[in-house]
Amino acid sequence: MMQQDFEEITATSDLSALLISLLKGVQYREQNELQWSNLLNLQTRVRDYVAVLNLELVIDESEGYAFLKSCPKVEDDHSEPYQQYLPRLIARRPLSFPVSLLLALLRKKLAEFDTGESGTRLVLSRDEIVELVRVFLPEGSNEARLVDQIESTINKVIELGFLHKLKAGNHNAAGQQTSYEVRRILKAFVDAQWLAEFDAHLAVYQSALAEVAPAKEVGEAEGE
């Protein structure tokens, strides 16, 4: 087999591996340095391939992550006709109120972390996340129920790929709490413009929560 043929087969194999990995989810440099290097080298070919599926490759080299997103619909004379009729391969998922709130708080925490010089990975304990959310909830909330609700929200954020659980269980053998790494890809989904309006968003959140809580308490009392 000629060297040129071997290199072409290798490149095709690397390209297939990249496409499969990207279609499965976000790719991080830290998880596979070799694959990340291949992605940077083959990104033009990757973009060409995924464009056929109406997808766009997003790479943030400084933060070390890459993902696919659906191309915005283009309805002008310069768009390809088939692009207007293709179904979305990557579906949009509506976020619940608690998930939206937690994502907003984590994004602000990440921005604050980046202004310091304490490293590149933001790691929070379960209690730290609970405290982030607690200040925006009405006083008098049932403590056990509050923690359960927040842990449920944390799990949903993990499923979305914005948090990474570092330790199993609430406490390990040494008595340390579960830790969570805030994935830096969160910056790509909660942008700087949204963050600039963060205080206004939280004011709306607090107002909504204050109205919802009394209604829940009345409903619970009537059901007892």
pLDDT tens digits, one per residue of 41-85? 999 999 999 988 888 999 999 889 999 988 776 444 444 554 455
- pLDDT digits 0-9 by tens, 17-33: 899 999 888 899 988 99
User: Can you tell me the distance from the alpha carbon of 23 to that of 46, in angstroms, rounded to the nearest whole number?
Assistant: 11
Q: Is the CATH number of domain 97-223 1.10.3470? A: no
CATH topology identical between 3-84 and 97-223: yes
Q: What is the DSSP string of 101-126?
A: HHHHHHHHHHHHHHTS-S-S-EEEEH
C-alpha span between 173 and 150 (Å, rounded): 23
State the pTM of this model: 0.68
Q: Where are the domains of the chain?
A: 3-84, 97-223
Place of tokens 């040494």: 174
Highest mean pLDDT among 98-102, 159-163, 205-209, 213-217: 159-163
In this structure, CATH architecture of domain 3-84: Orthogonal Bundle (1.10)
